[in-house]
Amino acid sequence: MKELKPGDFCPLIKGDCLGLKCNWFTQIRGTNPNTGEPVDHWGCAVAWLPTLLIENAQQSRQQGAAIESFRNEMVKANEVNQNLQIMQLQQMAKEDAHGSLPKPLVDITPVVDIDDEDFLIRK
């Protein structure tokens, strides 16, 4: 099979490509989004548009997936927080009905005791 090569015709000036004399003749360095191979080529910026649009779409998809993942984690954390608050309110209502002081659901005792002589870490 014969390899296809791009032509040198420029539709903007309706003639042969001017190469480095043209401001749109630019160097592209990076990775080919289709093959993963390194790219270091000179070419027309207009000709690079399809490749750059594909790369941009891929980056947008990846960013969207990361944002969705972050959102899902925040929803889970919010649900846990709401459930803890509901449990705390239910316990407070139950203990208030019995006339006793509410007790926290989570142990809030300090991790370190301060002694006159030195710090003792409780085990």
CA-CA distance, 92 to 54, in Å (whole number)? 57
Q: Is residue 36 part of a domain?
A: yes
Q: Is residue 9 part of a domain?
A: no
Q: Is residue 108 part of a domain?
A: no
Q: Is residue 117 part of a domain?
A: no
Residue 120 predicted with pLDDT over 60 = no
Structural domain including 97 reads: 21-102
Q: Is residue 90 part of a domain?
A: yes
Across residues 51-68, what is the average pLDDT? Answer: 91
Q: Is residue 51 part of a domain?
A: yes
14: tokens are 């309706």
- Candidates 27, 52, 51, 50; CA nearest to 40 is 27
CA-CA distance, 18 to 25, in Å (whole number)? 8
Q: Is residue 114 part of a domain?
A: no
Write b or e for each residue in 86-107: b if 16 or more Cβ atoms lie within 10 A of its Cβ, otherwise e. eeeeeeeeeeeeeeeeeeeeee
Q: What is the pLDDT of residues 62-104, one digit of tens each?
A: 999 999 999 999 999 999 999 999 998 888 888 777 666 556 6
Quick one: pLDDT band at residue 122, thresholds 50, 70, 90? very low
Q: Is residue 43 part of a domain?
A: yes
Q: Which residue has the tokens 């390899």?
A: 3
Number of domains in the chain: 1
Please check whether residue 31 is in contact with residue 39, taking contact to mean a CB–CB distance below 8 angstroms. Answer: yes
